[in-house]
Chains A and B, each alone.
Chain A
Amino acid sequence: MNIITIFITTLITENVILTKFLGICSFLGTSNKEKNALGMGISVTFVVLISTILTYLINKFILIPTNSAYLQTITFILVIACFVQITELIIKKYFKDLYKSLGIYLPLITTNCAVFGIILTNIRSNYNLIESISNALGSCLGFVLVLYIFTLLREKIENNDILKSFKGIPIALITAGIMALIFGRLV
């Protein structure tokens, strides 16, 4: 498939949050403030991009030649976990300001299903390196985009007069549903 097609579809029509339901925990959890949403988005993008390249190389040059593709799940989650740890250490040591603003999100990324999900999609769809990177970039930008729009919407919704039992998570889910319907028809 064309890399631009992959980029656009993953960015809008097949958005990670809205159609693949990945990263919903952080979507519902952190999207209370605009700044948090952006911080989370940037850290996720960084981790996804690098681990996409790492897992692609590991899969192609280690797992497939040794005929051990069934180890993909274990290997990939280890790569992500280690990479997140290393990133945290490096940022902590050399970029103190960045660490202060991103620090709390980094450990959460290991268990963010978006990261693992995007990497699995790359491998399962047999993308080559360029296509994988394009899928990763599109998905992450889609993640940031939806997270950001949703934060803005949520601030407005919180102040509205809604049923008491629908406050919080339920109304957030219904909003996300309407967003998903709109995004599915955009292209």
Chain B
Amino acid sequence: MTKPLSIRNITAHYGRTLVLEDLSLEVAEGELVSLLGASGCGKTTTLRLVAGFLQPTSGAITLGGRDLTRLPAHQRDIGLVFQNYALFPHLSVADNVGFGLKQRNVTGDARTKRVNAMLERVGLDHLADRLPAALSGGQKQRVALARALVIEPPLLMFDEPLSNLDAKLRVDMRVEIRQLQRANGTTSVYVTHDQEEAFSISDRVAIMHAGRIMQLDTPENLYQRPANAFVARFVGFENLIPMKVVARDGALVTAEAAGGVRLSFGLEQFGEIPDDFVLACRADGLTVTDNLAVEGIPATLGLRTYLGRAYQYQCDTAAGALVANGPLSRVLQPGSAAKLVPVPEQCTILKPE
């Protein structure tokens, strides 16, 4: 039933404004890919293009080899789950879920049976006769999910489905969505601006910005090995230090940052190092020490905050403002001099912007 989705070289405009630029995305059979980004990055536009509510300027969309690009929305056979649920207000829960089957001429007992089975799966069989207005937010989203799943679509798409729910319910619902999606093996596209949500339920995540995919990878890779400065910042790399190689000595490379700060890098730890690069890490990737004899970035410590597992320091350095963590065993005072030592496993090397 489920099919792979292929988006090839899509460009789209709103009036004259370019909203998507040469975007390509392959979603494998049964895979859940999230489109993650701030509002206006083009993630919802991508979803609406696939759903058929917008037309691309150029490019092609295929679902399991079937060309969708010029097909009207109602013939695309895609299950959609909306942010504001979009239930039919005048129809009961059962009729909402049965709507798609009715369009497919599934009638009588067959329809009732499938609707009931689906409602049972989302735990709402006891509410079949209610109107949507009498349901809570979580129940409404379950009905919306059941309504999209019951037609057994080859592709399921979610448009920020959890943003209207409270924090606790959001976590429960995303687990539920992932379980249902896994159990059915339905190819899925999930649009969200919530990084934690995207990383927790996706096989792969596409981080989008200004109508382009900045990186498409597994959550693990995105989190630890961002491919560029934008993604690094997006996943919380506070420290981005531009550097220039000044000496190469076998497996050891020496590079210099602004203010003449020199650091050495081992090729076996960092792989290939271009002449110009950006050293990127989170606060974890720089260790604060008051041993000024070691190699590191000389810094003056600023505000100290307690993180539970470490102290975090706002640091003033010749290479700019940096954030670094120091051990709990050693409390350093604001204003004192220290060195920030990069932790190779926590650091990554990026091409300059």
- Whether A and B are associated in the same complex: the answer reads no
List B residues at the A interface (Cβ < 8 Å). Answer: none
List A residues at the B interface (Cβ < 8 Å). Answer: none
